Amino acid sequence: MGSYLRPTDVPAALAALATGGRAGSPWVVVAGATDHYPARVGRVVDEDVLDVSALPIARGVLPVGGGGRELPQGGWSIGALTTWSDLAEADLPPLFDGLRRAARAVGGMQVQNRATISGNVCNASPAADGVPNLLALDAIVELESASGERRVPLSRFVTGNRRTVRAADELVMGILVPAPLPGTTVRSTFVKLGARAYLVISIAMVAAVVEVDASGRVARARVAVGACSEVAQRLPALEADLAGRPLGASLGSIVRPEHLAGLSPIDDVRGSAAYRREAALVLVRRALEDLALQDPAR
């Protein structure tokens, strides 16, 4: 039988992580535990579980100042215990529209009320709805251990299917989202394909963010595809081709199959690799068309 620990202060949690569970084995860290326990139904479980839900860690999405230790250019901090419902109901700028759409696509309302965004990232599922959106936001993961703190860009944090660079003695304390380029307006979106509209694991999904300058041209674009590789992937060649183009309904027409060459979809019960690749191409085009149609006055 495994151990269960629910500390109420961060130093105690970090001390436990540093020493490990029984016989020094790593703790399994949970917050909402909406992925952890369902995956173990019908199995004999012998794990040491560290529940961080009682820790006084920030919850919510809060602005952080520029020029300080948080982010030199300013931005926002998503506290480690922020749930999907917290994010969906927060008053946030259009930069977060894509992530907010994902918030209402993650399970049912009960799951959204318990599951955390940080947990979605740490679970590192190839079909995690939060990861492509956070990649498109250039998100940074904040980690802390008894020996210190560090920051890791999300693009380097998730390394494979259910694998991250988080060390056994580290705890995720939050996720940072940098501010957009000065003088630009921002649009973001998220589109997802599944076997049905809700409560479904993605076959393919796309998150996109564009920053538009005063002339109506794309100053910077970030496009990420999930569920089509072991780790969600940005599309750097497409992002480079989008830069400098006028934002309009024809933006999606520039997307070519070679822009998605870095993806490595698989065959499974939800769809074939060929179907996923074609679906991703269509979804990328739809995402860019959606950005062009959004109301800039929001």
Angle at 28 between CA 27 and CA 33, to 5 degrees: 150
Q: Say yes or no: do domains 1-50+57-179 and 185-293 share a fold.
A: no
Mean pLDDT of 214-222: 97
Closest Cα to residue 101, out of 208, 203, 186? Answer: 208
Q: Of the ranges 37-51, 79-93, 253-267, which one carries the lowest mean pLDDT score?
A: 37-51
Mean pLDDT of the residues in the chain:
93
Residue 176: pLDDT over 60: yes
Q: Of the ranges 64-73, 94-103, 139-148, which one carries the lowest mean pLDDT score?
A: 64-73
In order, the DSSP letters of 244-285 are T-B-SGGGGGG--GGGGTT-----BTTB-HHHHHHHHHHHHH
In the chain, % of residues over pLDDT 90: 82
Closest Cα to residue 136, out of 262, 247, 223? Answer: 223
If pLDDT is split at 50, 70 and 90, which confidence band does 24 have? confident
pLDDT in tens, 235-265: 999 999 999 999 998 999 999 999 999 999 9
Domain boundaries, the chain: 1-50+57-179, 185-293
User: What is the pLDDT, as a whole number, of residue 194?
Assistant: 80
User: What is the pLDDT, as a whole number, of residue 65?
Assistant: 81
User: What is the pLDDT, as a whole number, of residue 298?
Assistant: 55
* End-to-end Cα distance, the chain: 53
Mean pLDDT of 116-134: 96
Task: For tokens 């973001």, name the residue.
Answer: 188
Residue 93: pLDDT over 90: yes
- How far apart, in whole angstroms, are the C-alpha atoms of residue 52 and residue 8? 8
The H helix count followed by the E strand count for the chain is 9, 14
Q: Tell me the CB-side half-sphere exposure of residue 270, using CA atoms within 13 A.
A: 17
If pLDDT is split at 50, 70 and 90, which confidence band does 22 have? confident
- Enter the DSSP assignment of 27: P
Let me know: does 3 contact 49? Beta carbons within 8 Å: yes
49-51 and 4-5: which strand pairing? parallel
Class of domain 1-50+57-179: alpha beta
- How far apart, in whole angstroms, are the C-alpha atoms of residue 290 and residue 189? 7
Closest Cα to residue 287, out of 205, 231, 185? Answer: 205
Other beta carbons within 10 Å of 140? 21
Domain at 185-293: CATH code: 3.30.390.50
Residue 224: pLDDT over 90: yes
Percent helix, strand and coil across the chain, each rounded to 5? 30, 25, 45
What is the model's pTM? 0.94
